[in-house]
Chain A
Amino acid sequence: MNFEDTDFRYEYLDVENPYDVKLVSNFLKENGYDYLSEAIDSTVILYNLNDELIGTGSYKNQTLKYVVVADKFRETTAFPLIVSYLSDKILADNKRCFVFTKPETSVLFEGLGFKEITRAEPLFSVLEFGYESIKTYQKNLLKRKVETKTDDVATIVVNCNPFTLGHQYLIEKAAAENEIVYLFVVEEDLSAFPFEVRLKMIKEGIAHLDNVVIIGTGPYIVSGAIFPNYFLKLESWNLISEKQAEVDVKIFAQYIVPTLGIKKRYVGTEHYCRTTRAYNEAMKKILPAVGCEVYEVDRKTIGMVTEGENKNCISASKVRLAMKEGRFNDIQDFIPEVTKKFLLSEESADIWERLKFVD
């Protein structure tokens, strides 16, 4: 896409330049958006030849953000220009591009060929466009589908950051109670442990179970595109996080449950993290309506106390905290052999290093 033969010219926003940032954030504020320059990769600003600001758009990874055109220029081709320009850039490196927008503006993107995946009134509507879509993902799921005789088809979604005895316990329990278990592993590399490493630990850790199918989540379950706040682990739970969780669960309910014929979703009870706890709540609200029961399994505990406030639940975040503080002995009981082996090996050196610097 180029602007040479149009009535507009464009400029990149220099994030280091306070004047530029102020210009864009004022413009967005007038239109009802709060601009966070940390939450974007690149911003483009469109001017006309009289140097009036026509509109702006940004992206982060594979998600379009803050696409706004000034009121009096909405009749022009500015909007499709900005969107083509940005989606061009995104699609050069990615297979698809996402848009999060208000439900009332989703029709504008649909007019350009974007497809709405789902919406969470009144805040979000999620659309996508590109070489691949959620239909491609569903097709790939069908290839992995295992025909079953009974209705005991379960699923678990795990991040395993890192793989603990708690994860192993949950997966073993589901595998024992069901004919087949689809284990979705979060593919996004936003966690301390990279996807490859997590996948390897999980594969080794559940090698003894033959009715578990491991599947990557793609960008559709707990991903940085759909549910960014999951990875921020914000203490304050707000409406935005709640709606992001709702979008995530709705996609699961609309596209994944029917494709694989899933009847149960297993989750661990959550005592520590508010984001995950609210995510569990969203599941309980939405999934039963599409014939998928949510089973909340009590966490595996270590030590004598198994009830009440003082029980010592296994949790991956406790493992990470202990690693950060260099207390490896404290977590020996939490992790299986495969994780222990990895944490003591050379390969994990940079993960130890990285954990020291996170909060």
Chain B
Amino acid sequence: MKLIKKAQAGSFESSDILILASPVEEGEGRDIQIESGVFMQYGETIEKLIHQVLDQFEVNDVQLQIHDKGAIEPVILARMETVMQRALEMQKGTMY
């Protein structure tokens, strides 16, 4: 699917992860920048989870900026899902 608008989810708080997603031209691929205090230990896991959700939403062209503050797996998945739903304008029934 193609991203409709830029969106963000998460916060700067400890144990959370902030994800900014913005649309790019078709065919540019996934540009993912991850910053994390535990990148050495969990960088690969985080990346894997991000790709997993992108696959799930069938998003191939996207720019993601990720600022992790030690979020656990379910948090990463939840934030990713939310940011995708917002960017794809699939989310209903919230303030956004």
Contacts and interface: CB of A to CB of B under 8 A. Distances in A.
A340 to B, nearest CB: 41
Given A84-B18, A88-B8, A130-B20, A113 B35 contact: yes
A81 interface: yes
B13 A91 contact: no
Contact of B11 (A1, A95, A130, A132): A1
B12 interface: yes
A131 interface: yes
Nearest to B66: A113
Nearest to B65: A131
Given A91-B20, A113-B35, A77 B14 contact: yes
A113 B13 contact: no
A84 B20 contact: no
Interface in B16-74: 18, 20, 22, 35, 63, 65, 67
Contacts of B14: 77, 80
A91 B11 contact: no
A167 B13 CA distance: 50
A150 B82 CA distance: 52
Given A112-B67, A113-B18, A113-B35, A80 B8 contact: no
B6 interface: yes
Size category of the A interface is 10 to 19
B71 to A, nearest CB: 13
B82 to A, nearest CB: 12
A80 B12 contact: yes
A84 B13 contact: yes
Contact of A131 (B11, B22, B67): B22
Contact of A77 (B6, B13, B35, B63): B13
A84 B6 contact: no
Contacts of A131: 6, 20, 22, 63, 65
Contacts of A112: 12, 67
Contacts of B65: 130-131
Contacts of B6: 91, 95, 131
Given A113-B67, A131-B6, A131-B65, A84 B12 contact: yes
Contacts of A81: 11, 13
A214 interface: no
A83 interface: yes
Contact of A91 (B8, B12, B67): B8
Interface in A75-89: 77, 80-81, 83-84, 87-88
Interface in A1-43: 1
Nearest to B96: A92
A83 B20 contact: no
Interface of B: 6, 8, 11-14, 18, 20, 22, 35, 63, 65, 67
Given A88-B8, A112-B67, A113-B12, 7 more contacts: A80-B12, A80-B13, A80-B14, A81-B13, A84-B13, A130-B65, A131-B22
17 contacts: A77-B13, A80-B11, A80-B14, A81-B11, A81-B13, A83-B12, A84-B11, A84-B12, A84-B13, A84-B18, A88-B8, A91-B6, A91-B20, A112-B12, A113-B67, A130-B20, A132-B22
